[in-house]
Amino acid sequence: MSEKTSKNTVAGGDAQYAIVETGGKQYRVKVGDVLSVEKLDGDAGAEVTLDRVLLIGGEGDVKVGTPVVEGASVAATIADQYRGEKIVVFKYKPKKNYRRKTGHRQSLTRLQITGINA
C-alpha cells in the first residue's frame, strides 16, 4: 500500500492547481492541462485569461476565494474551436401522433493551460 501512496506523491501531488469557472461549469486545472469548455471568443493560438478563479491549491498552501481569489487568474491558449458530438432530441406524446426529432451540436473551445497567476 505504501507503493501506491508514493506513486501518487511522485505523480505531482504537490503541483499547483486552480479551480476556475467558465461557461457555468467549474474545472480543476494545472499547467499543461488541455480541456474543453463552452465556446470562447477568439481564434486558434489566441491567449485567453480566465479571471473567475475560485481556489488555488498545491505546494502545501490553499487559497479559497469568497467567491473568487482576489488578483488570481489562469492563462490559457486556444488550441482549437470545434463542435461536440450531435445529440438527438426526440419529443413524443403517446396516443396523439406527436413526434418531433431535432438535433443539437454544442460549440466548444479546447484550451491549453499555460500558467496560474496567484
Q: What is the largest CA-CA distance in the chain?
A: 63
pTM: predicted TM-score of the whole model, two decimal places: 0.79
CB 117 within 8 A of CB 72: yes
Three-class secondary structure of residue 3 per DSSP = helix
Give the contacts of 32 (CB within 8 A, at least 6 positions apart): 112, 113
Residues in CB range of 84: below 8 A, 6 or more apart: 36, 105, 106, 107, 108
Residues 108, 39 contacting (CB under 8 angstroms): yes
**Domain residue extents for the chain:** 14-117
DSSP conformation class of 28 = E
In the block, cell 496567484 appears at 118
The Cα–Cα gap between 84 and 104 comes to 9
- pLDDT, tens digit, for every residue of 47-101? 999 999 999 998 888 999 999 999 999 999 999 999 999 999 999 999 999 999 9
pLDDT digits (tens, 9 = 90+) for 14-30: 689 999 999 999 999 99
